[in-house]
């Protein structure tokens, strides 16, 4: 059971690193080498018998560091290459269907391409995409943004809904308040009910529906 838990933890760590911008993994690779290399290449001091036990432990750590100074950067670089390849593949997916209208392309999108569309759109508006928060059952997740030192939440877990009612917006607004975010955005491929729009207007929640997403698709296609 413990082995299964360790494997799951390692897999979760790889997924987390893969979701980061690819260049961040290159930064991690450089930092890990800069931190480990001086320790791994330094010579052991000459110690007396009393300090022999501590020297043995120090020697063991140095041996581990000699391997880790290469393995960790190699691992981070591998994740960076995989993440970069994934981004390139998603861009090619957007470009490989030029005959599809934005509405048809939007409806055919799977979550990875849809998330990439959102990240590109928010970055073009001056936001930093910090990562994701709560995950949905279909692999989707809410996004965390930052602009001018303020945090914003993006609700994406009902992104495939045809018509989004007010109940999910109430839950999301409560989370925006509890987490101290400056605002929130709710995204869906479909449309919002009149009650949902009224609720969002009263609480300054930004709504992004299918019509607006189609415009984002058209802009994204021009950039590819």
Whether residues 42 and 139 share a domain: the answer is: no
Whether residues 120 and 192 share a domain: the answer is: yes
List the domain range (segments joined by +) for residue 193.
102-223
Could you read off the pLDDT tens digit of each residue along the chain, which spans 224 residues? 444 344 445 555 555 565 667 778 788 888 888 888 887 777 655 444 444 445 556 677 777 878 888 888 888 888 888 777 767 766 666 555 555 677 888 888 888 888 888 988 999 899 998 877 655 555 567 899 999 999 999 999 889 999 999 999 999 999 999 999 999 999 999 999 999 999 999 998 999 999 999 998 888 766 55
**pTM greater than the 0.75 cutoff:** no
Scored b (16 or more CB within 10 A) or e, 148-157 reads eeebbbbbbb
Q: Contact 122/145 with Cβ under 8 angstroms?
A: yes
Q: What is the dihedral of CA 120, 123, 128, 129, to 10 degrees?
A: -20
Q: Contact 95/69 with Cβ under 8 angstroms?
A: no
CATH code of the domain covering residue 183: 3.40.1350.10
**Which residues is 144 bridged to in the sheet?**
131, 153
Closest CA to 37 of 68, 60, 58, 59: 68
- Select from 38, 60, 95 the last residue of a domain: 95
**Which residues is 61 bridged to in the sheet?**
none
Long-range CB pairs of 47-50, under 8 A, 24+ apart, other chains included: none
Whether residues 90 and 38 share a domain: the answer is: yes
Q: Which two tokens stand for residue 90?
A: 């998603």
């Amino acid at each position: 059971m413990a082995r299964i838990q360790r494997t799951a933890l390692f897999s979760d760590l790889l997924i987390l690193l893969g979701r980061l911008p690819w260049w961040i993994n290159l930064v991690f690779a450089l930092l890990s080498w800069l931190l480990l290399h001086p320790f791994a290449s330094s010579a052991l001091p000459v110690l007396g018998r009393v300090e022999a036990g501590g020297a043995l432990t120090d020697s063991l750590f140095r041996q581990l560091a000699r391997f880790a100074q290469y393995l960790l950067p190699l691992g981070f670089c591998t994740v960076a290459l995989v993440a970069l390849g994934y981004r390139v593949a998603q861009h090619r997916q957007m470009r490989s269907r030029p005959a599809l209208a934005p509405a048809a392309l939007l409806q055919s999108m799977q979550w990875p391409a849809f998330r990439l569309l959102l990240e590109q759109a928010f970055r073009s508006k001056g936001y930093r995409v910090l990562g994701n928060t709560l995950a949905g059952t279909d692999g989707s997740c809410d996004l965390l943004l930052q602009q001018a030192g303020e945090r914003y939440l993006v609700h994406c877990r009902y992104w495939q809904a045809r018509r989004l009612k007010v109940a999910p917006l109430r839950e999301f607004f409560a989370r925006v308040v509890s987490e101290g975010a400056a605002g929130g955005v709710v995204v869906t491929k479909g449309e919002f009910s009149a009650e949902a729009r009224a609720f969002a207007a009263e609480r300054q929640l930004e709504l992004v529906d299918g019509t607006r997403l189609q415009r984002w698709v058209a802009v994204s296609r021009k950039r590819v």
